[in-house]
Chain A
Amino acid sequence: MHILNEHTIRFNEVFDQYFSPLCYFAERIIKSREDAKDIVVESFQKYWLRKEDFGAPAQVKSFLYLVTRNACFDFLKKMKMTNSKSTDFPDLFNSDMEETAARLEVEAELLRKIYKVATQLPPKCKDIFQLTYFEGLNTAQVAERLNTTTTNVTSQKSRALKILRIALAADKKSIPLLILLAMDF
């Protein structure tokens, strides 16, 4: 049960937007989903304590990525100190470190935008798109899961792709994403 008032609505808006991409970002740096989740939960607490300091929404985003990144770096340093022989953690402590994190932020933010578009598809298309692209099922598995025929899945899938493309773009000459996504047929 969610309790909603002005504050919790504001909190939930930011949480809904950034929780998953931030976890993805942190997990890619520290290679552990569980620890990434803990770090991101801390990041949201830090954000909320300082919520009055932010003006534009972009500042909130930058802040969240920055504190998450720093916490991940601290986490890696600690792991390295306590477990110096471990090869599980790549030697990221070099000049590339910040650039690597910046690239991962680009990746996480792009995925966030695509994910958002995909969740706004009409229900049937969305089911098929999500089973295919988020859960990695093939056409036959999707048909079985949705209790429908493969032909229907294929036609809905092309509809989903079409709508996704329309959502992503208006009529332009090159259609890279569509072509890439359609290679699966």
Chain B
Amino acid sequence: MPEAFHDYDHLIFLYLKQELTDEQERALNAWRAASEKNNELFEALTNENSLRKKLQSLHEIEGIKESSRALLLKRLFPEAQSEQVKRKRISRRSLATAAAVVSIFLFAGIWIASLNRQNKETPIVLSEGQQPNTDLLPGAKKAVLILADGREMILDENEHERLVEKDGSEVINANGILSYGTSPRKSKEAIYHLLQVPKKGEYDLTLSDGTRVKLNSESSIYYPTVFDGKERRINITGEAYFEVAKDAGKPFIVSVNGVEVKVLGTHFNVNAFANEEKIKISLAEGSVQVTTGSGNAVIKPGEQASVAANGKLEINPNADLDAALAWTSGYFIFRDADIVAIMQQVQRWYDVDVHYQDAIMQRFVARIPRSVTAADFFRILEATGWVHFKIEGRQITVLK
């Protein structure tokens, strides 16, 4: 009787998490007692060695996943495949030009200080003779817009482009900002666009209601071309900063990994990278309501809400908003940050892989323009004498 097995994986999962209620524990024990095979399965799934072998086998299967996905996409969406071939390239910026633009003239504004838990800041000015590592340029304005029919458009700040979607909405890309017109929708069905920003990229977006969104590297946003329901709902991954246009009748809702941020008009930042431990929502202006599977809270300006993987919601009343929002004005700001937290941002903005040879115990305070090359960024941190970096292509090793 398969029904009898329903959800026992969930009970065993809860058992591993030590979250079984007494009633659930009784149900699980009854299931184990009901058959020797049930009990064998339970033992196998809670024993380290056998669980490890099973996880390895699942992991091997993950390796054949992409070829099956490609096969299925081809069979199920043949029209999308042919559109893909026709995909349109708006423009491609030459890296050589970027190399010339990104230079070392910004150093006057750079300071860095190290601290032993006190806010003692010592400015350091770098000499200008050093050659930047041209392989590791910082990010720039770039993104890919995916239209409802699957066509992709590569966006950057050098090209002007205008298109009209089949619902009549006008889309303009100019000066590194993608914006949507306010014209009323002609078709019944909502049309959704997806804007994806790769590593080494960032992009600005103005939605049809006038809401401004800034997307950080390795982030994406999924939104309708026109908001005409009772609410304005969008999805994001990664990190985005919002300046929401006021419209009391239509709440603006950002949905991210099961967490919802609901606002009426406000400025706030959502950081939800898959490789960060928590989703963080930082509020600059107004107020927002954060809802997770386990509850909700209203946060006020200056506060930061964080949501852990298990849905636990915490409010930090003394959040460092300057640091959380620094990227939106073109800076990295670190205050009392450990090297791992710093390198998380580095790997996204410079598209590098980070390895650690030594543990760096010190904490750093720094304000660095996002326009410097990776080599210069590392030179600034190295000036503390606490940390060194070995650069081999895209592989960065952190040493004492």
Contacts and interface: CB of A to CB of B under 8 A. Distances in A.
Contacts of B275: 122-123, 126
A20 B58 contact: yes
Interface in A75-122: 98-103, 105-115, 117-118, 120, 122
Nearest to A130: B59
The B interface is mostly helix, strand or loop, or mixed, namely helix
Contacts of A101: 2
B16 interface: yes
Contacts of B8: 106
Contacts of A102: 2, 4-5
A127 to B, nearest CB: 9
Interface size class, chain B: 35 or more
B148 A136 contact: no
A3 B18 contact: no
Nearest to A118: B55
A140 interface: no
A148 B357 contact: yes
Interface string B340-382: 1000100100000011111100000000000000000000000
Interface string A15-51: 1000111011001000001000100110011001000
B310 interface: yes
Nearest to A100: B37
Contact of A15 (B17, B54, B64, B72): B72
Contact of A167 (B56, B68, B276, B310): B310
B58 A133 contact: no
A101 B276 CA distance: 37
B61 A172 contact: no
Given A37-B64, A133-B55, A167 B309 contact: yes
Contact of A120 (B69, B148, B309, B344): B309
B164 interface: no
A15 B65 CA distance: 9
B100 interface: no
Interface string B20-52: 000000000000000101100100111110011
Contacts of A152: 356-359
B58 A3 contact: no
A68 to B, nearest CB: 13
Top 6 nearest A-B pairs (CB, nearest first) are: A172-B18, A134-B59, A109-B9, A180-B48, A169-B17, A102-B5
Interface of B: 1-2, 4-5, 8-10, 12-13, 15-19, 35, 37-38, 41, 44-48, 51-59, 61-62, 64-65, 68-69, 71-73, 75-77, 80-81, 83-84, 146-150, 152, 192, 194, 196, 222, 274-277, 308-310, 312, 340, 344, 347, 354-359, 397
19 contacts: A8-B73, A9-B222, A20-B62, A24-B54, A24-B61, A98-B1, A99-B1, A103-B38, A105-B5, A106-B41, A107-B45, A109-B9, A109-B10, A111-B58, A123-B275, A135-B56, A135-B59, A148-B355, A169-B19
